[in-house]
Amino acid sequence: MVNCSVVPASTPSNSGIAGTGVLLSFIITAAIALLISAALILQDTFGAVARERKANGGLDPPLSAKSSQPSCGHVATVIARKLLNSYSDQQIVTGIGIQSLGLAQVGKLVPYHFFLIWMLGLLSTAVHNAALLALVHDFRRDCILRWLRQLLMFINLALSCVYGVYVLRELAVGLPQTLPVACAWDDGSAGRASDIDWEKTAGGFQFVATVVVIAGNCIVFVLSTWYLHSRMQRFYRIVQTVGLVLMGAVAIGVTIRVILLSQAFGHPSVDLSDLDETSWSFGQLLSLLLLLLPLVVLKCLHVLELLLLRLLLLRL
């Protein structure tokens, strides 16, 4: 049972949610994925692959289109696509995981930690959408991969909307920052501010901004779904460019907000009773070490492909 009648002077930190390693892993993964997405879209728009795809009716050309051996540029593109796919999957799965964990601990988490989780979820959404813009041809060719991606997008949207509703409720009742978020739905009024003038307080702007974010998230989901399943090539490059710029702006804005708000890098909006979020532990280091996982998986896939190729050659 959550006690909402007593407002603590401070709240414990939570390094598992807002620790230095956790935040850095999200930020670094987002930066890598966005840079790879931008590079692939630029190459897809202005490079030789774009001309070959146009001549091939909108489909990716086979490896043997010009020679029996793939060029260095083609190999680099394939590696970049696999890395982007891995980092994008890692980001959205981690985002879904941390949002699910936050909802499971809604009776313990204060608005500070709850808001940080929401921001990390929005960051994972922006990264995933940017990767979708760059890898859409791969997803359209594979129906299983396409619908799996659609499912992850829907789960992420649902969790993000739930977080947005919680944030709206917390702002509407003026919940003290040291009480758990679950207290925003409590019938009692103990420990809450009342009669807030939304036009004269910062809460009014936050309320409107939260509504805009929720609505924007839903609109982006609809557009992403259309882009993922549509076969239309009209305005394709414009959608890619505008979408990448928009997702990059969202990711940068969310990252700045997280850095300024977190104890690890900035100044938290609530009094924390300790400094655990700024300290390093094995869990924080593990979050950063997981950034190497896509590279390890890529190497294993390369070895497996060589092994299968040798087996095929032996049979021939």
Residue 305 lies in a domain: yes
Residue 202 lies in a domain: no
List C-alpha distances in Å: 231 to 136, 203, 225, 238. 10, 44, 12, 15
d(CA 202, CA 180): 21
159 has a pLDDT exceeding 90: yes
Q: Provide the CA 197 distance to its chain's centre, in angstroms.
A: 34
Predicted TM-score (pTM) of this structure: 0.84
d(CA 231, CA 105): 42
Residue 208 lies in a domain: no
Domain that residue 131 falls in: 15-57+70-155+234-315
3-state secondary structure of 11: strand
Mean pLDDT of 307-314: 78
- Band of pLDDT at residue 257, cut at 50, 70 and 90: very high
Residue 163 lies in a domain: no
**What CA dihedral angle connects 129, 135, 136 and 137, to 10 degrees?**
180
Residue 3 lies in a domain: no
**What local confidence, expressed as pLDDT, does residue 93 receive?**
92
Residue 255 lies in a domain: yes
**What local confidence, expressed as pLDDT, does residue 137 receive?**
83
Place of tokens 């979020």: 277
- Taken as a whole, the chain contains a residue count of 316
Nearest to 157 by CA among 241, 97, 96, 101: 96
How many structural domains does the chain have?
1
- Band of pLDDT at residue 176, cut at 50, 70 and 90: confident
CB-side neighbour CA atoms (13 Å) of 105: 16
Instruction: Give me the chain's average pLDDT, please.
Output: 83
